[in-house]
Structure formats: C-alpha cells, structure tokens
Amino acid sequence: MPQPHTPRRNDHRRGFENSERLRELLTRLDAEGPDAWRTDLVAAELMQHAAQKYAALARKHGLDPWEAAGAAFEAMRTAAVRRADDPWAVITRAVQITCIAENRANGLLCSVHQARRPRYSSFHDAERFSDRENPLTDYHPAFRADPFATDDDDDGEAFEEPGCTGVESAVEDTIALLCWHAWEPEIARAAVECVCARLAESVSRAGAYESLRRDRHARALLDIPAPSWYRLLRIILGAPDAHLTGTSAGRGVLLRLLIGESLRHLMDDAALGTAIKIAAPGVMRGRP
C-alpha cells in the first residue's frame, strides 16, 4: 500500500533560494503578524538557512554567522524586500553593509549606527598608545606636553623647559626641603635628580611616577627602602589618586614650586613636613 508523501525538511530549504518562494513566505509571515516569526517552523528553517548562507561573509568581517543572520532577519521584515525584483539580492546587500558597519564599529569603538556614516567610518581603527613604534610627539605638536604639565592647567601656560632657571631653582628648593626635614643631603640630591631625570624623559608626571615606582634598579642604586621611595615619589611628583587631582598632595612639591609657591610656604606646610620626615630613609629603616 503506497505511503502518503511526507514533505522532507530540505524541501523548504531548496525553496528558499527561489526569490518568488521567499517573497511568498515573507508576505505570509508579515500578514500573520510578529508572532509568526517566533512560532512558524518554516521561519525557523529560513533563519538557519540564512545563517549558513552568510556564514562566510560574517567570518570575513570577524563576526558570528548568527550576527549576519540577524541582519538578514531585519532586512526580511521590511516592505522593500517583499517588493524587490530579487529579494535575496536586497537581503545580501543589507547583510554586507551591516557586517562592514559592525566590523568598523568594533575597530572605531563606536556604535554601528555611527559606523555607517562616512564622517566616522573614514577614520582609522582605534589603537593603544603603546602599540605605536614612535612617540605621539612625532605625529602632532599638540601631544608635546611639558613633563610638569597637569590636566588642571586651564590657563594653557606651559612651564619652562628643563634646564631653565625656574626648573633648576625648583629642583634645588626640593632638595633643600627634604634636608630641612631630616633627609641626608647626599641622598636627597641623588633621589631628586633621579626623579627629575626620569621626568624629563616622560610625557607626564603620572608616567614618570609609574616608571619610577616599578624601577627597582634605580631604588637599589640610591639605597632607599621601598616604603621611603614610594612615599618620596608621591611627595615630589604628587599622589596619582584621582580624588586628589588639583590639590597640593596631587600636585607634588616640584609642581607647587613651579607654579609660584615659595620654599618658605612649603616649609610651613605641617602635613607635608610630617610626610617628608616619615619618608626619610633613616626613619623607615628604624621602624620594626
């Protein structure tokens, strides 16, 4: 006895490649309402087919096949696709544009909506400063920051270049301040000069601070205990804590001297004096 014909699962898939069959299916799903896309088995097979169809295109742009299928789904729901002479051609172009935009958005660190616009997509991908072989100062003068410059310098006035009288005076006053508060003169001078040398090589105080904090070799040459060294860096270069930005503790002794505070004023700063005394190597070594 002949068995009734049962449509094979692949019958639907073969029909999907036919633009007219696809148009009929999309028209029916649109007429049945949004819930049809969630409940219709043929719609589910259509999306699986789309994921397979655009998998290579998705991988080309570093995306998951189902991200391409999602772009196809958005296009399939539009009236333009249902009215097009070739619905698959319109869908394919829509998926291609979305994949390109997704890839550009990932590179530019922006939204897909922005990446679709030429005013944003024309830029190169975002990159870390550390990925560049040359320093940023080689690319634009705006990146040439004075070693002592800070974000809170709203007046835009640059400090004097290293080697000028103002900087030399600030260095000598810093050494004198340390000596005033129980530091040995030789150790104080060697430490301050080491900090200033690294500062001249860095683009910011924060960069110099982090470099010196990790430099065990410099600390060993100076023969300064780690606690004293870390405290000294905060005293001279300023504390890197965000909540201290713009405060005396955040600016550090060198910057305070450069922006016009006198040595006498710093000597009268009780909190600063206490911090310098505690940081003195003899005091730190004498602690249990």
**Count of domains forming the chain:** 2
CA atoms within 13 A on the CB side of 259: 19
Picking from 88, 121, 154, the residue at the C-terminal end of a domain is 121
The model's pTM is 0.42
Residue 159 included in any domain: no
Which residue range is the domain that position 23 belongs to?
9-121
Tell me whether residue 171 is in a domain.
yes
Average pLDDT, the chain: 77
Tell which of 121, 147, 182 closes a domain. 121
33 plus 90 within the same structural domain: yes
117 and 202 both lie in a single domain: no
Select the highest-mean-pLDDT range: 99-108, 198-207, 232-241.
Answer: 232-241
- pLDDT grade, residue 220 (50/70/90)? confident
CB contact at 8 A, 26 and 75: no
> Residue 109's pLDDT is what?
72
Both 259 and 176 in one domain: the answer is yes
Instruction: Spell out a b/e string for 25-60, using b for 16 or more CB atoms within 10 Å of the CB, else e.
Output: bbeebbeeeeeebeeeeebebbbebbbebbbebbee
Is the pLDDT at 206 greater than 70? The verdict is: yes
Of 121, 152, 186, which residue is a domain's last?
121
